[in-house]
DNA sequence: TACGCAACGCGTAGGCCATACGCAAACTGG
DNA sequence: CCAGTTTGCGTATGGCCTACGCGTTGCGTA
């Protein structure tokens, strides 16, 4: 256990991994890290990431802005805590589930739900995960492929592929759905209808004409996501069969 | 041509689509929109999106900060212009290329290169594309599938799948590569080695032990990207064969 | 040739923001 | 009851975006 590494890490990491020193002496805290993070998550959920400022967060907590800095080293620290706490635990399955497709699919669908509930997560991810929460999700995804003949590098590649897709699809759906100002539902479709000149963008104009951007009534919004996910998992299946033959 | 729509659009869109009114009367401009956008792109390329402020941009252009607002309605406007200009034109192929896989693969690889050259694009994308530059890329991707039996909705789904993957892979590679401070190359690997407790994260610990995060010497950095892209296109191939049989 | 006015560049100022620093208050173990 | 420790917070600084309005410039026209 090289502590020299821990010393040069951000404060937040040492707290997240349970390496913070216990204290019990002084004044009774009116604030706690959990309360701060929970309030920050709620604020970001309700009003968006741009509305999350230390001042507004303190206002919501009924304290002075500078009080927050006793529990959080800075705004980056706070966002790291939010990222670790908001997703919750990943779905449960064993180390080598027999049905890789079902497991990985469930993982993807649940993560998709997390991103829809907390759209700010997608805008916030700047670096590879280093907190227990995100690593637990990553581990679960890797475990879903534990029963397949894929080698470790291929498993990681597949997981990243699914992760990128889930993130992108959630971001797209979030921005297509959440525009309660003005036309709302079909605003982007209407805009594209006017902008997609058939001479300049023939394929795009064709897609618009075919109603790709119009909301289809008989299907839920997850439907497009599931369709793309099926394409993706078909490709993974091909890779698995190929690896099994070798 | 419903001009009533154009009136409620951001100023930047009307400029981008050539709908701005021509002016020729007043003082000779020392600044131009092209110079401003080019300088902004260069600044973001060199020092990152966080370093792009109106003040620093003006400093680089040798003008006062407020002068920029004569050509750009605000910072959001400027970023929209940057997004439209930086990628350049998409690769060229006809309306229905015979080799969909080669075309789409080339599209993906070139877009990957764009994201590596301009990493800020990934952090900046907040809404579906509405500018000619991004719509040209989207149209090119849809055209690459023009010779396949996929219906329009499936084509769009496939294109989004590839787009999300390219974006995610570029973001990941950017953050893995660009850490010239301290340990650099293997910093994340070393950190994971310590954090990935085999009891708590068995699959992740296995991946670390197998050297998934260590930079492999005999391959270029694009190699992981191409491998994932192949998985993905295998899945698209399955969908195309299925559609051809129906 | 001379003028008017449209478009330009920019100075000022105000409102947000994150946060470094230091002090007063409150609680607890001895 | 006291000393030590930890918390809460007031003040202040420097950065950011940008609304507003003024002086300046040079083309089009008379």
Same domain, A68 and A152: no
**CB of B63 lies under 7 Å from some atom of strand C:** yes
Same domain, B75 and B127: no
Q: Which of residues A85, A112, A130 is at a domain's end?
A: A85
Is A195's Cβ below 8 Å from some Cβ in B?
Answer: yes
Average pLDDT over chain B reads 89
> For B60-76, what is each residue's pLDDT tens digit?
999 999 999 999 999 99
Same domain, B226 and B115: yes
**Can you read off the two tokens belonging to residue B87?**
């990628």
Give the count of Cβ contacts less than 8 A between chain A and B.
181
Q: Measured in angstroms, what separates residue B89's CA from nucleotide D25's C1'?
A: 38
**CB of B175 lies under 7 Å from some atom of strand C:** no
Residue B26 confidence class, pLDDT cut points 50, 70, 90 = confident
Is B129's Cβ below 8 Å from some Cβ in A?
Answer: no
- In 3D, which of B118, B108, B31 has the Cα closest to residue B83? B118
> For B81-114, what is each residue's pLDDT tens digit?
999 999 999 999 989 999 999 999 999 999 999 9
Inside any domain, residue A226 = yes
For residues A54-63, average pLDDT: 96
The pLDDT of residue A161 is above 80: yes
Q: List all nucleotides in chain D with at least one atom under 7 A from a protein Cβ.
A: 4-11, 15-21, 24-28
Q: What local confidence, expressed as pLDDT, does residue B13 receive?
A: 82
**Domain of residue B15, residue span:** 3-85
Same domain, A146 and A225: yes
Inside any domain, residue A46 = yes
The pLDDT of residue A182 is above 70: no
**CB of A200 lies under 7 Å from some atom of strand C:** no
> For A113-155, what is each residue's pLDDT tens digit?
999 999 999 999 878 999 999 999 999 999 999 999 999 999 9
For the entire predicted model, the pTM comes to: 0.92
Minimum mean pLDDT range among A76-90, B50-64, B217-231? B217-231
Same domain, A117 and A39: no
How many residues are present in chain A?
A: 246
Same domain, B62 and B107: no
Same domain, B46 and B155: no
Same domain, B10 and B131: no
Facing residue for A164 by CB, picked from B17, B165, B191: B165
Inside any domain, residue A134 = yes
Q: Measured in angstroms, what separates residue B40's CA from nucleotide C27's C1'?
A: 54
Same domain, A47 and A160: no
Same domain, B78 and B135: no
Q: Do A207 and B164 touch (CB under 8 A)?
A: no
The pLDDT of residue A197 is above 90: yes
Task: Count CB neighbours of A172 within 10 A.
Answer: 19
More confident residue, B216 or A34: A34
Q: Which of residues B85, B119, B146 is at a domain's end?
A: B85
Structural domain tally of chain B? Answer: 2
What is the chain A residue with the closest CA to B19?
A: A195
Q: What local confidence, expressed as pLDDT, does residue A4 receive?
A: 44
Q: Which of residues B35, B50, B85 is at a domain's end?
A: B85
**Could you tell me the CATH number of the domain that includes residue B51?**
1.10.10.60
Residue B144 confidence class, pLDDT cut points 50, 70, 90 = very high
Q: What local confidence, expressed as pLDDT, does residue A5 receive?
A: 45
Task: Count CB neighbours of A140 within 10 A.
Answer: 24
Rounded to the nearest 10°, the torsion over CA A120, A122, A123, A129 is: 110
Same domain, A34 and A67: yes
Facing residue for B139 by CB, picked from A188, A201, A232: A201
Interface probe with B: pick from A183, A232, A233, most Cβ of B within 10 Å: A232
């Amino acid at each position: 256990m090289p502590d020299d590494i821990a010393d040069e890490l951000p404060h937040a990491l040492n707290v997240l991994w349970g390496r913070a020193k216990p204290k019990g002496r002084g004044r009774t805290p009116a604030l706690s890290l959990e309360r701060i993070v929970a309030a920050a998550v709620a604020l970001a959920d309700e009003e968006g990431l741009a509305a999350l400022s230390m001042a507004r967060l303190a206002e919501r907590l009924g304290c002075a802005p500078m009080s927050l800095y006793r529990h959080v080293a800075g705004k980056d620290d706070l966002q790291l805590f939010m990222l670790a706490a908001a997703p919750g635990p990943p779905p449960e399955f064993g180390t080598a589930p027999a049905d890789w497709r079902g497991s990985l699919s469930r993982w993807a669908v649940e993560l998709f739900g997390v991103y829809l509930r907390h759209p700010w997560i997608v805008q916030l991810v700047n670096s590879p995960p280093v907190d227990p929460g995100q690593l637990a999700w990553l581990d679960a995804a890797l475990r879903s492929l534990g029963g397949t003949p894929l080698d470790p590098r291929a498993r990681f590649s597949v997981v990243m592929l699914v992760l990128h897709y889930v993130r992108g699809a959630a971001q797209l759906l979030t921005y297509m759905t959440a525009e309660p100002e003005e036309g709302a539902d079909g605003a982007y479709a209407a805009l594209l209808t006017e902008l997609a000149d058939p001479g300049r963008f023939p394929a795009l104009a064709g897609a618009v004409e075919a109603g790709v951007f119009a909301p289809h009534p008989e299907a839920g919004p997850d439907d497009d996501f599931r369709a793309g996910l099926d394409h993706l998992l078909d490709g993974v299946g091909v890779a698995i069969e190929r690896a099994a033959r070798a």
